[in-house]
């Protein structure tokens, strides 16, 4: 899909379809469309649409009217309108589309360009069934009405959507295909495509480094673990932003076996890994003026005769010991060694993203990811990036009172802190390994995928993380 800016009245566009916006209290800008809206009793509430054919005075054969509710225009309503448009496009299959200019309260025109390209490009993603060809989008070109000729924001929006598409594709793949080895191969392919530095640590490499915590998770599986790092250098010797993504390609729970209902969705337990790979794709594609490194600890968590057992004690790379009270709290066991490993990169900041706790879904549902940090400025920057990208985060506390719940009689800490505040105690566990740098943790268990009839990966938090990184450039 190609995006462009066009300084042309809606009436003169000679493509297949024009998109205009209607408001509950003011109607539409084009006078010849307003009578048809009233004739069809169209209520211009947010998320509604009306398709008109062969409107007098408009060259395009189809006009799509999108409801925006009452003024002022909100960012969320605009994104919702674009999502509605994408659903209509899948039915009418236009080749070329023009979108009317629209001002959004609190955002400039560049944000509109970027969000339009991102939402419409992301909407072209379809799950690729195993053994089938990748679906082809019907729309070839989208023109956005504007007097500008700088298309950089359009390129950014499309690149973000393409990073989301990679994250979604990896998440949606079945776990017998998307193994730790497959994620390593994906990283190597990105390194080749964008000339990135790539390193893959094997099991014996991690054993030499003393990563007993990470390896305690993988040893019950036939799939060998990997520790993947990819580095993009766009700003000389500047300290890199480091992203760490949890990559449990399937989580059975181990000996602390999960219930069977919904266990198929545990293939999505690597969405943190998928998201940081997607972010790297976007930043490298944009050739951004920044240094970025991603680190992906990736394993499969399975029960076997040699799997870790509740009550086992392991030693992490940092030298701290951990009593494994629940083998289904495995994400923190692989992340803690990765968070120690990233010290070698001398990071400016470290942000990990992980489908870490079911507790965050109870707390925040599917709308916000949970954010905890040891640096409030970093937390504020991520919260702001979430608002700009419409990929929101909500900050939860990270305090010593919660950390005390991790006490163990047999090791430096247990890997769980009890039923209460599970999202926070998981972050407290990780915080013990992040004392040497600024760090934030994103718990995306509620936002990384959808269940039911809409089952599929969402590509979040690629937009949030990309926005954060781009904000550090400006």
Which member of 219, 233, 258, 366 is catalytic? 258
Under 8 Å between Cβ of 331 and 269 = yes
Listed as own residue / partner, the contacts of 172-175 with beta carbons closer than 8 Å and 24 or more positions apart are: 172/127, 172/128, 172/456, 172/457, 173/267, 174/130, 174/267, 175/249, 175/250, 175/266, 175/267, 175/300
Active-site annotation holds for 87 = no
Joined together, the tokens standing for residue 414 give 């247990």
Task: Classify the C-alpha dihedral 150-151-155-160 as positive or negative.
Answer: positive
SS3 395: strand
Q: For residue 397, give the DSSP letter.
A: -
CA distances from 188 to 93, 191, 229, 248, 280 (A): 36, 5, 10, 19, 12
Which member of 114, 281, 332, 460 is catalytic? 332
Give ∠ CA 42-43-47 in degrees, rounded to 5: 110
Cα separation, 434 vs 439, whole angstroms: 7
Query: Which are the contacts of 401, defined by CB distance < 8 A and separation ≥ 6?
Result: none
Under 8 Å between Cβ of 242 and 338 = no
Under 8 Å between Cβ of 293 and 231 = yes
Active-site annotation holds for 134 = no
Joined together, the tokens standing for residue 270 give 């690597």
Under 8 Å between Cβ of 440 and 372 = yes
404 Cα distance to chain centroid: 31
Asked if omega into 290 is within 30° of 0 (cis), the reply is no
Query: Which are the contacts of 380, defined by CB distance < 8 A and separation ≥ 6?
Result: none
Question: For residue 378, which phi and psi values (nearest 5 degrees)?
Answer: -65, -45
Joined together, the tokens standing for residue 470 give 């781009």
* Number of neighbouring beta carbons within 10 Å of residue 227: 26
Cα separation, 226 vs 53, whole angstroms: 55
* Number of neighbouring beta carbons within 10 Å of residue 194: 15
CB-hemisphere CA count at 13 Å for 29?
A: 13
The residues carrying an active-site annotation are 258, 332
């Amino acid at each position: 899909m190609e995006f462009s800016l066009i300084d042309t009245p809606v009436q003169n566009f000679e493509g297949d379809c024009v998109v205009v916006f209607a408001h509950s209290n003011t109607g539409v800008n084009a006078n010849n469309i307003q009578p048809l809206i009233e004739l069809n009793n169209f209520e211009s509430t947010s998320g509604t649409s009306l398709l008109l054919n062969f409107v007098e005075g408009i060259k395009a054969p189809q006009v799509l009217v999108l409801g925006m509710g009452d003024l002022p225009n909100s960012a969320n309503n605009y994104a919702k309108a674009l999502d509605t448009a994408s659903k209509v496009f899948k039915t009418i299959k236009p080749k070329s589309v023009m979108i009317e200019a629209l001002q959004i309260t609190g955002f400039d025109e560049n944000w509109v360009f970027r969000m339009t390209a991102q939402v419409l490009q992301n909407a072209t993603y379809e799950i690729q069934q195993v053994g089938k060809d990748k679906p082809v989008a019907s729309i070839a070109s989208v023109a956005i009405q504007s007097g500008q000729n700088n298309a950089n924001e359009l390129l950014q929006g499309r690149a973000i959507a393409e990073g989301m598409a990679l994250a979604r594709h990896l998440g949606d793949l079945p776990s017998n295909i998307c193994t730790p080895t497959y994620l390593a191969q994906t990283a190597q392919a990105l390194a080749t495509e964008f000339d990135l530095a790539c390193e893959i640590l094997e099991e014996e490499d991690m054993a030499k480094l003393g990563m007993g915590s990470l390896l305690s998770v993988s040893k019950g599986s036939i799939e060998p673990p990997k520790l993947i790092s990819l580095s993009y250098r766009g700003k000389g010797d500047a300290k890199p932003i480091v992203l760490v993504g949890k990559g449990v390609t399937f989580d059975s729970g181990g000996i602390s076996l999960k219930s069977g209902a919904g266990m198929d969705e545990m293939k999505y337990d690597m969405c943190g890994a998928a998201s940081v790979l997607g972010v790297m794709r976007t930043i490298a594609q944009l050739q951004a003026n920044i240094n970025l490194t991603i680190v992906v600890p990736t394993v499969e968590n399975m029960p076997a005769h040699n799997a870790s057992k509740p009550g086992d004690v392991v030693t992490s790379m940092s030298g701290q010991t951990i009593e494994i009270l629940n083998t289904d709290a495995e994400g923190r066991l692989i992340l803690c060694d990765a968070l120690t490993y990233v010290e070698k990169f001398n990071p400016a900041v470290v942000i990990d993203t992980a489908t870490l706790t079911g507790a965050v879904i109870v707390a925040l549902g599917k709308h916000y990811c949970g954010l905890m940090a040891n640096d409030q400025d970093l937390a504020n920057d991520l919260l702001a990036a979430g608002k700009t990208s419409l990929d929101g985060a909500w900050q939860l506390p990270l305090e010593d009172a919660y950390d005390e719940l991790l006490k163990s009689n047999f090791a430096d800490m247990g890997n769980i802190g009890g039923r209460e505040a599970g999202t926070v105690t998981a972050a407290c566990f990780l915080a013990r390994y992040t004392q040497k740098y600024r760090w934030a943790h994103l718990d995306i268990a509620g936002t990384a995928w959808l269940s039911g009839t809409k089952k599929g990966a969402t590509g979040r938090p690629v937009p949030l993380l990309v926005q954060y990184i781009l904000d550090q450039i400006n």
